[in-house]
Amino acid sequence: MELVCPAGTPASLRAALDAGADVVYVGFRDETNARNFPGLNFSPEELEESLKKAHDMGRQIYVAINTYPQAGNLEPWYKAVDTAARIGVDAVILADIGLLNYAKRQHPGLRRHLSVQASASNPEAINFYRSAFDVQRVVLPRVLTVREIAELIEEIDVETEVFAFGGMCVMAEGRCSLSSYATGKSPNMNGVCSPASHVEYEQRRGKLVSKLGEFTINSFPNEEAAGYPTLCKGRFVGHTGDPSYLFEEPTSLNVMMMMPELIQAGVKALKIEGRQRGKAYVHQVVSGYRKAIDAAMKGEPVPFMDMGNITEGTRSTAGAYEKNWR
Partner 1 sequence: MSSQAMNSRATSSKAKLTLGPVLYNWPAEQRRDFYFQIADEAPVDVVYIGEVTCSKRAPFLTPFIPEICDRLEQAGKEVVISTLSLVMSKRERKEQHELVQDSPWALEANDLSAIGLLKGREHIVGPFVNVYNEDTLDYFYENGAQRIVLPCELSGKAIERLLSSNKGREVEIQAFGRVPLALSARCYHARSHGLSKDGCRYVCEQDPDGMNVETLDGEAFLAVNGTQTMSYTVNNLLGEINDLSKLGATHFRLWPQQVDMIRVIEIYRAQLDGAIAYDAGQETLSELVDFAPFSNGFYHGVEGNRLVE
Of 197-226, binders to partner 1 (CB under 8 A) are: 209, 213-219
What is the C-alpha separation between 249 and 174, in angstroms, rounded?
Answer: 20
293-322: contacts with partner 1 (CB under 8 A): 320
Classify residue 290 by burial, with Cβ atoms within 10 Å: 0-12, 13-18, 19+: middle
96-115: contacts with partner 1 (CB under 8 A): 96-99, 101-102
Of the candidate spans 34-42, 58-66, 89-97, 277-285, the one that interacts with partner 1 by CB under 8 A turns out to be 89-97
Q: Give the H or E element holding residue 172.
A: none
What is the C-alpha separation between 43 and 80, in angstroms, rounded?
Answer: 10
Nearest of 7, 27, 302 to residue 192 by alpha carbon: 27
145-184: contacts with partner 1 (CB under 8 A): 148, 151, 170-172, 174-178, 180-184
Q: Give the H or E element holding residue 323.
A: none
Pick between residue 59 and residue 211 the one whose CB is nearest to partner 1: 211
Count of residues engaged in binding partner 1, rule: CB under 8 A: 71
CA–centroid distance for 295 within its chain: 24
Q: Does 236 bind partner 1 (CB under 8 A)?
A: yes
> Looking at 87, 199, 246, 302, which residue binds partner 1 (CB under 8 A)?
246
113-132: contacts with partner 1 (CB under 8 A): 118, 120-125, 127-129, 131-132
- Position 72: which residue type? G
Of the candidate spans 11-19, 58-66, 229-237, 270-278, the one that interacts with partner 1 by CB under 8 A turns out to be 229-237
Q: Tell the smallest beta-carbon distance from residue 325 to partner 1 (Å).
A: 6
Pick between residue 83 and residue 183 the one whose CB is nearest to partner 1: 183
35-74: contacts with partner 1 (CB under 8 A): 68-72, 74
Q: Does 16 bind partner 1 (CB under 8 A)?
A: no
How many Cβ atoms are within 10 Å of 177's Cβ, its own excluded? 12
Region class of 110: left (phi > 0), else alpha (psi between -120 and 50), else beta:
beta
What is the C-alpha separation between 230 and 250, in angstroms, rounded?
Answer: 8
Of the candidate spans 20-28, 52-60, 91-99, 307-315, the one that interacts with partner 1 by CB under 8 A turns out to be 91-99
Pick between residue 23 and residue 182 the one whose CB is nearest to partner 1: 182
Of the candidate spans 19-27, 54-62, 235-243, 300-308, the one that interacts with partner 1 by CB under 8 A turns out to be 235-243
C-alpha distance from residue 165 to each of 5, 10, 134, 176, 212 (Å): 10, 21, 28, 21, 25
Q: Tell the smallest beta-carbon distance from residue 263 to partner 1 (Å).
A: 22
Residues 6+ away with beta carbon under 8 Å from 291: 303, 305
261-290: contacts with partner 1 (CB under 8 A): none
